[in-house]
Amino acid sequence: MKPRSPYLLNREQTVLVALDLQEPFLRKIFNRHELVQKCQFLILSAQTLDIPILWTTQYCEKMGAILPAFATDLEIGTPQSIDKLTFSAAANHTFTEALHGLNREQVLLCGVETHICVAQTAFDLQHLDYQVHVAADAVSSRRIEDHDLGIEKMRDRGILSNSAEGAVMELLLEAGTAEFKSILNLIK
């Protein structure tokens, strides 16, 4: 098989990062239902493909833990969330140490808010020489205009965007496998 494009996600090199999926942030988020579904799809797919997951909370003491639905999805084989006060997860030493320890080169982002924590994390990770991908339908903001501007700014600076499903299919590489069949059940 010929080498694949370096712009496609590779399951041996990817880490999924789920940012700040807490009720106070999701309460007024644009398209909340779809965002939650897409993030759950990414989390369950990453677990199926043995892709490491890092997840953050923003000021957990005041803003609370992640939504119970995500906590259930993340329990199996996933360490405790990394709490942060910085908007960028990559500005948090505990997060960057955990990420470096995984020895991966690609990061796939999901969570909230597109124009704040997602964008700042993406740019800081890019600055740290990670190839950053964002699942555009698995990130959101309170206002659609802010989401759109955040996606546009990231794309303009070389952050790669895709849909959650498109990203997972890149990671799968091929149909017909047991993993593909498991993930196909998540799509239906």
- Chain position carrying tokens 């020895």: 103
- Residue 187 CA, chain-centre distance (Å), reads 17
Spell out the residues 6+ positions from residue 37 whose beta carbon is closer than 8 angstroms to its own: none
Estimate to the nearest angstrom the gap between the alpha carbon of 85 and the chain centroid. Answer: 18
Compute how many other C-beta atoms are within 10 angstroms of the C-beta atom of residue 105.
14
Q: Map tokens 């006060």 to a residue.
A: 85
So which residues are the catalytic ones?
A: 20, 84, 117
Tell which residue, 130, 124, 95, has the closest CA to residue 18.
Answer: 95
